[in-house]
Structure 1
Amino acid sequence: MKIELPEKLYYSIGEVAKAFDVNASLIRFWEKEFPQIQPKKNKKGNRFFTPQDIQNFKLIYHLVKERGYTLEGARTALDENKNLENEVQLVFRLEKIKEELLLLKSTLNDFESE
């Protein structure tokens, strides 16, 4: 999974949904299900997510969508495992390295075929 978000203080629900390739309704649902996600709300009720919320979304997404945890299992894992964030960060870094290597391989293949 590739998360592309610029570095900002706050992200709209639309930006978060697009970055994770999910519906905004799933973002709102996870917000209710996981106390780790605490978006700020303006007077209109619009949600604004912090970089820490994005980190928590990454953890939840990894557990639920990639590892197949139930919501209850993901909540338990987040509560009990302090090293989980490091593990997920490593997975994301390795995925980024893999993308870069595949791009390099494609570029080399194009170069060889000329």
Structure 2
Amino acid sequence: MAGRVESGRTDKADSAFRTIGEVAQDLGIAQHVLRYWETRFPQLRPLQRAGNRRYYRPADVALVRRIDALLNREGYTIKGVQQLLAASATAPADSAPAPAPNDDDLIAALESVRDELRAALAAD
């Protein structure tokens, strides 16, 4: 539920901005590590308000999660993650996933598979 505190964590709407403390607590990453990552990954730029208070947008939080996963679970180095993020940012539009087939195409494909299975069973 939005706005409730459960086990020391404030639950906010997914679209809400988060402070560095909230992000650090939610993800189990020290605040100084998040500040360090800001110096190493130019893609990670939370908003900074008066007194240099940091506010992480939902996209920033998602990027922190991705960086954390790459560094701490998949074994990438800082340099490796930098290269991976830079490559994904400059990927051409051609590499975008193909659009999902429409219902008619999907039905035709399923009917084709059904017919092939029917023929294979009849041959036995």
Mapped contact 1:5–1:19 kept (Cα < 8 A): no
Given candidates 47, 50, 69, the residue that maps to 1:62 is: 69
Asked if residue 12 in structure 1 is aligned to residue 15 in structure 2, the reply is no
Gap regions ≥5 residues in structure 2: 1-9, 92-124
Say whether 1:45 aligns with 2:52. Answer: yes
* Root-mean-square deviation over aligned CA pairs: 2.0
State the TM-score, normalized to the length of structure 1. Answer: 0.64
Quick check: 1:78 aligned with 2:88? no
User: How far off its partner does 1:67 sit?
Assistant: 0.5
Unaligned runs of 5+ in 1: 84-114
- Return the letter of the residue paired with 2:81: A
Task: Choose between structure 1 and 2 for higher RCO, CA contacts under 8 A separated by at least 6 residues.
Answer: 1
The whole-number CA distance in structure 2 between the counterparts of 1:36 and 1:12 is: 18
Q: Where is the helix percentage greater, Structure 1 or Structure 2?
A: 1
1:58 offset after TM fit, Å? Answer: 1.2
Flag as ranges the 4+ runs of structure 1 deviating above 6 A: none
Identity %: 28
Partner Cα separation in structure 1 for residue 48 and residue 38 of structure 2: 12
Does 2:33 align with 1:29? no
**C-alpha deviation, 1:20, in angstroms:** 1.1
Shift of 1:5: 5.8
SS at match of 2:43: coil
SS state of the match for residue 48, structure 1? Answer: strand
Per-residue deviation, 1:16: 0.5
- Which digits, 9 at most, give the CA deviation of each residue in 1:25-59, with x for residues without a partner? 00100111101111111111100010010111111
Tell which structure's C-alpha radius of gyration is larger: 2
Q: Cα deviations across residues 44-101 of structure 1 (Å, max 9, x unaligned)?
A: 1100010010111111011101011100001111122469xxxxxxxxxxxxxxxxxx
